[in-house]
Amino acid sequence: MRPGEWSFLDAMWRWGGFATDAGWTQAAGRVAIERLRQERLQRLLAWTRRHSRYYATHWAKAPRRDLRLADLPHVHKADLMAHFDDWVTDSAVTRKAVEHFASDLVRIGQPMLGRYAVFSSSGTTGVPGLIVHDADALAVYDALGATRMGALAPAWNWGEPLTGHRYALIAATEGHFAGIVSWERLRALHPWFEANARVFPVTAPIRETCAELERFRPTVVASYATVLRALAYERDAGRLAIQPSVLWYGGEWLAPIARDHIQRAFGCRVAGDYGASEFLNIAFECERGALHLNDDWVVLEPVDENYEPVPPDTASASVLLTNLANHVQPLVRYELGDSVTIASKPCACGRPFPVIRVDGRRDEILRLDDSRGHDVPIMPMALCTAVEEGAGEHRFQVVQTGPAALRVRLEPASRSRHPGARVKDCLSQFLARQGLTHVAIRVETGDIAAHPVSGKFRQVWREKPRLVGG
Ligand SMILES: [Zn+2]
């Protein structure tokens, strides 16, 4: 093994253990799941108290014995990031070292210190974060993907190299984001996957991506919900003839109307999961379209505005996540920010995992007119990536205010000089690559507002939606 490479044997060995365990747990039912979750939780809490200086201080008032989650205060990304070196349990994983590692795009998908994966995220709260996952956590995510999603997710399944699938991922590629890092890690580990998987940057114009997809002819396409919707429009317009067997979405909420449209356009299954940089596959979708929580490895606590638990069948104001798999950078009662509802009724599919509904990221596809009056779809993820990577800004909102007009709101706390001009420059360059040279961009500074209807932090939307698309 050379530096900068994952150990195939080590990953396969761990995966084998966790995959056997994940399959057994699913068959064993609720009692076994509860018992395993408790054991894993106690192990995580004991480890965290002993090895994380941040939590040791933060939990000073908590009972010394028989610690329960409810006894512990919740934590926030901004605070954890500010105390990064005290938060982690391996002294070699300093914030400086992780930032240095993540500053180089060549290292996307490579291990840090030979064993850790690094995900950078802005998430729905707009606070940049760096999440480090250890070898066991990565093996757990792989095992959950392979055993819980089954034939729908052959990319995670080490036993299925001969399916003949060709995988396309359309994602943000200009940073160490969870999607692209996981994908590149799998490519590095599995030669058969490397030969049959291709990445398409989400920042490329959609019609260019369609032309590339036509050449590659993927059987599995994975992307954000808004991108799949845009592909469905291209398909309707006769500009995309690929015949995938599964379309996979993640990272954004998929509205039922959008799901129907995508399924109709491609005539194939649309499946997805709910994950975050903090835990890759929190829940998986079954064949009935219900999201099942992997609650043998992750604890989700839906809470109200005062961080009090909400009952089943009630949408939460926020949700606290505890990752039972990752010990290098413990996440215990970590505020994830999404609105989650836990259903009181089990799913008719018979799986023993609880059903949840997630009201996650709800950005909209923008539709801007080019100089000839043609409508050009712009993916929210692409646009955000352009601003984050090009101008280094994370707290901003983009609103389409007219057929060729955008308003960008930047938080005044920006540390860079002339942030408004930088944002305008990188947005203009990004739009020009999409054939949009006439878009008026107005940048203003002010507090980032929650969406007037949903009350959630929303990054990209249209002020005056037209009746086409999106
Ligand atoms: Zn189900």
What is the Å distance from ligand 1's center to 354 Cα? 9
- The number of helices, as runs of H, and strands, as runs of E, in the chain is 14, 20
pLDDT digits (tens, 9 = 90+) for 234-245: 999 999 999 998
Report the range of poorest mean pLDDT among 99-103, 131-135, 205-209, 214-218.
Answer: 205-209
The domains located in the chain, with CATH, are 8-359 (3.40.50.12780), 366-462 (3.30.300)
In DSSP notation, 377-443 reads: EE-HHHHHHHHHHHH---SEEEEEEETTEEEEEE-TT--SSSHHHHHHHHHHHHHHHTT----EEEE
Q: Structure pTM? A: 0.82
Environment class of 350 (CB within 10 Å of its CB; exposed 0-12, middle 13-18, buried 19+): exposed
* Ligand 1 centroid, distance to 291 Cα (angstroms): 7
Would you call 459 helix, strand, or coil by DSSP?
coil
How far is ligand 1, taken at its centre, from the CA of residue 53, in Å? 40
Dist. CA 160 → ligand 1 center (Å): 23
Give residue 288 CA to ligand 1 midpoint distance, Å: 6
Per residue in 130-139, pLDDT tens?
999 999 999 9
Which residues have CB less than 5 Å away from ligand 1 (the ion)? 286, 288, 290, 347, 349
Tokens standing for residue 48 = 């965290």
- Ligand 1 centroid to 352 CA: how many Å? 9
Cα 152 to ligand 1 centre (Å): 14
User: How far apart are the CA of 19 and the centre of ligand 1, in A?
Assistant: 20
181 CA → ligand 1 middle, Å:
29
Of the candidates 153, 141, 349, which has an alpha carbon nearest to the alpha carbon of residue 245? 153
Decide which of 360 and 215 is more confident: 215
Inform me whether the pLDDT recorded for 470 exceeds 70. Answer: no
Element (H, E) at 318: strand 318-323
Per-residue model confidence (pLDDT) at position 67: 87
Mean pLDDT of 281-297: 92
Would you state the structure tokens that stand for residue 104, as one six-digit string?
């180089």
How remote is the CA of residue 346 from the centroid of ligand 1, in Å?
8
Q: What is the phi/psi pair of residue 376, to 5°?
A: -115, 120
Task: Give 40 Cα–ligand 1 centroid separation in angstroms.
Answer: 25
Q: How far is the CA of 42 from the centre of ligand 1 (A)?
A: 29
Span from the CA of 292 to the centroid of ligand 1 (angstroms): 7
Ligand 1 centroid to residue 252 C-alpha, Å: 20
Say how far apart CA 426 and CA 177 lie, in whole Å: 20
Q: What is the pLDDT of residues 417-448, one digit of tens each?
A: 788 899 999 999 999 998 999 999 999 988 77
Ligand 1 centre distance from Cα of residue 344 (Å): 13
Which positions ≥6 away from 394 have C-beta within 8 Å? 122, 126, 127, 128, 388
H helix or E strand, kind and range, residue 138:
helix 135-148
Averaged pLDDT, 57-78: 92
Closest by Cα among 300, 70, 108, 292 to 187: 108
pLDDT digits (tens, 9 = 90+) for 139-149: 999 899 888 87
What would the pLDDT profile of 378-412 be if each residue is shown by its tens digit? 888 788 888 887 888 877 889 999 999 999 988 77
Cα 284 to ligand 1 centroid, rounded to whole Å: 9
- For residue 19, pLDDT over 80 is answered with yes
Alpha carbon of 277 to ligand 1 centroid (Å): 24
Determine the distance separating the centroid of ligand 1 and the alpha carbon of 357, expressed in angstroms: 12
In angstroms, what is the span from residue 432 Cα to ligand 1's centroid?
A: 44
CA of 26 to the centre of ligand 1 (A): 12
Distance 310 CA to ligand 1 centre (A): 23
**Distance of CA 155 from the midpoint of ligand 1 (Å):** 21
Cα(353) to centroid of ligand 1, in Å?
8
Please check whether residue 400 is in contact with residue 380, taking contact to mean a CB–CB distance below 8 angstroms: no
How is the chain split among helix, strand and coil, in percent rounded to 5? 35, 20, 40
pLDDT mean over 4-12: 85
CA of 456 to the centre of ligand 1 (A): 28
Q: How confident is the model at residue 157 (pLDDT cuts 50, 70, 90)?
A: low
Burial 431-465 (b: 16+ CB within 10 A, else e): beebebeebebebeeeeeeeeeeeebbbbbbbeee
Ligand 1 center from residue 355 Cα (angstroms): 7
- Mind giving me the DSSP string for 22-69? HHHHHHH-HHHHHHHHHHHHHHHHHHHHHH-HHHHHHTTTS-SSS--G
Q: How far is the CA of 270 from the centre of ligand 1 (A)?
A: 15
pLDDT digits (tens, 9 = 90+) for 96-116: 999 999 999 999 999 999 999
- Residues 84-99: pLDDT tens digits? 999 999 999 999 999 9
- The answer, yes or no, to whether residue 320 has pLDDT greater than 70, is yes
Q: How far is the CA of 356 from the centre of ligand 1 (A)?
A: 10
Residue 331 pLDDT greater than 90, yes or no: yes
* pLDDT at 154 exceeding the cut of 50: no
